[in-house]
């Protein structure tokens, strides 16, 4: 059963920006729906969702994110000129703060990656990314790409609440996000690029698999080397020792379509 109503024939409109907020835990109360309407007279407001469409250079009011995700909605997906933003609202508990600490500022290639924002009673994970074909794989004749992604984020959110950050680790790995602190600087430096140059494409792919780095089989040797080099600087805290990161179906579907632009 689909969790959202169907909107036929999705196609990214490069002259507009689209936003979809979804409430996972319960239908949005009248107060929350009133807040959603505050940011556009044309907002499509329903029991669990609100959708906005902004044209040209117009964007959703920056204050809307905190107003909506801080209390009333739980996940959000937006697309603007081929750039995507995914947001997941989570309870601000000591356990969640510890879980998300490595991702507070983990943006890498072209400023894409993960960061965490404090919305008072909630922490909000923000993923800045791009998708192959601008998300065409998430859409079908009877599916909307934003709705498909929202459904996948609902599953990822449940994983995070259960203490599994493997999805975030994979995104950070893909974009080479994270910063080194003083302790990291004292660690041995990664192998020089020359050492990677001597490896075949198959050997580079094996290295990526061994290090848990997300990659595509179509990548060239240069792209594989860049991914390996970038991930070497990722903070150790982003991948706790002693735990294998096996991506769920939802996480694999999102990570498998990521693109560097």
Task: For the chain, give every domain's residue range.
Answer: 16-175, 191-232
DSSP code for 39: T
Position 30 confidence tier, pLDDT thresholds 50, 70, 90: very high
CA distance 161 to 74: 12
pLDDT of 233 reads 44
Position 171 confidence tier, pLDDT thresholds 50, 70, 90: very high
pLDDT, mean of residues 206-234 = 72
Residue % of the chain over a pLDDT of 70 = 79
pLDDT tens-digit readout, 235-259: 434 444 444 458 999 999 999 999 9
Structure-model confidence comparison of residues 49 and 218, the more confident one: 49
Q: What are the φ/ψ torsions at residue 229 (nearest 5 degrees)?
A: -65, -40
pLDDT tens-digit readout, 118-146: 999 999 999 999 999 888 888 776 678 99
Alpha helices in the chain (DSSP H): 30-37, 63-69, 94-100, 145-161, 166-175, 182-185, 193-197, 201-210, 221-231, 249-255
Query: Would you state the structure tokens that stand for residue 8, as one six-digit string?
Result: 């036929």
Bridge partners of residue 114, in order along the sequence: 106, 127
Residue 189 reports pLDDT greater than 70: no
């Amino acid at each position: 059963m689909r969790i959202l109503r169907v909107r036929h024939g999705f196609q990214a409109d490069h002259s507009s920006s689209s936003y979809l907020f979804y409430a996972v835990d319960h239908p949005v109360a009248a107060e929350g729906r009133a807040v959603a309407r505050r940011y556009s007279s044309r907002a499509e407001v329903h029991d669990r969702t609100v959708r906005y469409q902004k044209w040209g250079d117009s964007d959703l009011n920056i204050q809307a994110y905190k107003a909506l995700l801080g209390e009333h909605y739980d996940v959000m997906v937006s697309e603007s000129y081929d750039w995507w933003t995914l947001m997941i609202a989570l309870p601000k508990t000591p356990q969640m703060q510890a879980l998300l600490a490595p991702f507070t500022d983990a943006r890498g290639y072209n400023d894409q990656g993960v960061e965490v924002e404090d919305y008072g009673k909630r922490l909000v994970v923000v993923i800045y990314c791009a998708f192959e074909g601008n998300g065409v794989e998430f859409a079908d004749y009877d599916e909307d790409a934003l709705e498909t992604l929202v459904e996948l984020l609902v599953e990822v959110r449940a994983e995070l609440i259960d203490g599994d950050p493997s999805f975030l680790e994979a995104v950070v790995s893909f974009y080479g996000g994270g910063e080194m602190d003083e302790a990291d600087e004292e660690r041995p430096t990664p192998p020089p690029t020359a050492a990677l140059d001597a490896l075949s494409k198959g050997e580079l792919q094996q290295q990526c698999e061994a290090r848990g780095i997300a990659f595509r089989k179509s990548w060239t040797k240069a792209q594989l080397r860049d991914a390996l080099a970038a991930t070497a600087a990722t903070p150790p805290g982003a991948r706790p020792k002693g735990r294998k990161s096996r991506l769920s179906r939802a996480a694999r579907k999102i990570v498998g379509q990521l693109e560097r632009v």
